[in-house]
Structure formats: C-alpha cells, structure tokens
Amino acid sequence: MKHPCRFFPIFVLFLLLIGGVIISGCTTTSPSQPVNQTEPKPKLLLATTTSLYDTGLLNYLEPKFEAKYNVDLLITSQGTGKAIELAKKGDADVLLVHSPSQELAFVNQGSGINRRTFAYNYFIIVGPPEDPAGIKGMSPEDAFKKILAQGKSGNSTVIFVSRGDGSGTHTAEQKIWTNAKFNYTQDIQKSGKWYVESGKGMGETLQVASEKGAYTLTDEGTFLAYAGKLNVVPVISEGSSLLNLYSAITVYNEKQPVERIAMANNFINFLISNETMTDIANYGKEKYGKGLFIPMTSGMPYGVTADFTTPATAIRP
C-alpha cells in the first residue's frame, strides 16, 4: 500500500501554481487598457506695464480668463518700452500698455494688430506733505517749471524722481516737459542732483520718492495700492496732460503661430467684454473706496476717441 504522504508535496505545489496564475491574472494590467493622460494647457505670454501688475488687477482677472479658455496666462511686467521690445523679439503674444504714441508706432510697423483701449485713470504728481516747491494747485506744466527752477537754484529740499525707463509713465512725464517748453534731453536729463532717474517700476519709484522726500509722477492706481507704505501725498491731480489710457494689442510676426494669435484675440475680447468691464470698474472699491481703473464703458474722457467695442478677429495686419 502506497503511503498517502508521498503525494502531499506534489499536491501543495500544484495549488501554489494555480494560486499564482489566479493572482497574476488579477493584478496584471492589460496592454490595451487606456492610460489617463491630461493634455497640457496652451500658454499665452502677456507683457504688461508695471502699473497694471502692481495694482493687482491682472492677478484678479487672470483666473477668470484661464477658466474660460482653459489656458495658462504667463505674465511679465515691464515698463511699456521694455514690454514692446519683448514683443518685437517674439517673447510675448499680447501687450497691455499705456503709451499711445509707442503703441501706434508698434502697430504701424506691422508688429501689432487689434489694438483696443479698455480702461483709463489719471496720472498725479505726488510729493512731500509740506510741498517744499509750493506747487499745489498749479497746472502740471507750471508745477514742473517751478520744480525745475527750485531744483536748479540749489534748493536741496526739491527733488524729482523719474522712472527714467522708457515706460508709459516716463513718456507721459516727457510730454509734460515738452508742453512746458523744455527740451527733455538737453534741459532736464542729467541737469543736476535735483533730477533722479530710478530706472525702476512704478511701485519702486514711489518708494524711492518717499525715502528721498521727493516729487514724482505716478498713475493714481499704483499710488493708491502703495499709499499705506509712503510718506508722499497727491499734490496735483488735475490737467489734460494727466490722462492715462490703457490698451491691449495682439502681437504679430511671420513666425507667430495662428493659434497664439487667436488666443491673444480671445484675451482682448475677454478684456472688452461687459462682464470684465464691470469687474474692472469695481476693482479696488472695497479696499480703497474707489476703483483703481475706469473702464471705457463708463464713458470716455472729453476729446478721446478709442475703439473698445469691435471684436478682435484679425489674424494678420
């Protein structure tokens, strides 16, 4: 009679083999099973002026645009001149700037299309609360004349800090000097210790002016955003030369992919939509008691003509 224990190891081995097959069958992924992969979002490169960025407006609008178009909005803030240079090099898809003369030159050169003016505010001249130059109540041009005269006369308490960076604010400052009958490069730049060029963005320039007890030209929105950190106050806020218009432009060049141009157009149409215009009108009211920017839908300033209603559809000049 055969002993039953002789067959036991064979039986156990058989069970182990069967179990391995069953376990293997339960855990192996079929080669034909689809793998869940998320498509990368397209990117839109936005070059903008520091005033739109420093005020936080773009941070507020960014998630709304990204959610609507399923895109990543990448923002770089520069002075208007530098932002335009980036665009000319092909390092931006859309511009948000505030220097009409530079914008029109950019478009006329064939580098931009679909320019739309979407908002405005005003420049103001700020300075020490004691107003050492005695310019309060003057026109911007007369104020600049008096600051220049006192600065050049050796009054060490009168200093003017300029952006000096080719930005929209710097361009507006130069326009005021021109209106006041001065040659900027000959009469103002490097004319003495009274005139300081910061070479920085608006927020940093305000801080430099505050530290030096100096005057400077700033957009009102950035001033309100930084006011709690500054020792300067608004001195002059009226004058036609203080109007500050903001426009958006789609960047164009022969190498620019059509999809990027179309997405830049989407961004411009988003900006000029009634919903976004309402958001712009309300931005800052809760914190500062007034909006930092005025959308064009609230009414254009006297004498200004601008397109803010035509949809951006062109894909070439």
pLDDT digits (tens, 9 = 90+) for 200-211: 999 999 999 999
What CA–CA distance (Å, rounded) separates 181 from 126? Answer: 22
CATH number for the domain whose boundaries are 43-121+244-298: 3.40.190.10
Q: What is the CA radius of gyration of the chain?
A: 30
State percent of the chain over pLDDT 70: 88
Tens of pLDDT, residues 165-178: 999 999 999 999 99
- The CATH H-level superfamily of 122-242 is Periplasmic binding protein-like II (3.40.190.10)
- What's the per-residue H, E or C state across 41-82? CCEEEEEEEHHHHHCCHHHHHHHHHHHHHCCEEEEEEECHHH
Domain ranges in the chain are: 43-121+244-298, 122-242
What CA–CA distance (Å, rounded) separates 188 from 204? Answer: 21
* Tokens, residue 171: 């361009």
* pLDDT for residue 44 is more than 50: yes
* Confidence band of 37 (pLDDT split at 50, 70, 90): low
What CA–CA distance (Å, rounded) separates 160 from 195? Answer: 5
Number of H helices, E strands in the chain: 12, 10
Q: Do domains 43-121+244-298 and 122-242 have the same CATH topology?
A: yes
Give the DSSP letter of residue 185: I
The per-residue DSSP string of 230-254 comes to: -S-EEEE---GGGEEEEEEEEE--T
Q: Are 312 and 250 in contact (CB under 8 A)?
A: yes
Give the burial class of 158: count Cβ atoms within 10 A of its Cβ; 0-12 exposed, 13-18 middle, 19 or more buried. Answer: buried
* pLDDT for residue 269 is more than 50: yes
Give the burial class of 172: count Cβ atoms within 10 A of its Cβ; 0-12 exposed, 13-18 middle, 19 or more buried. Answer: buried
Mean pLDDT of 274-285: 97
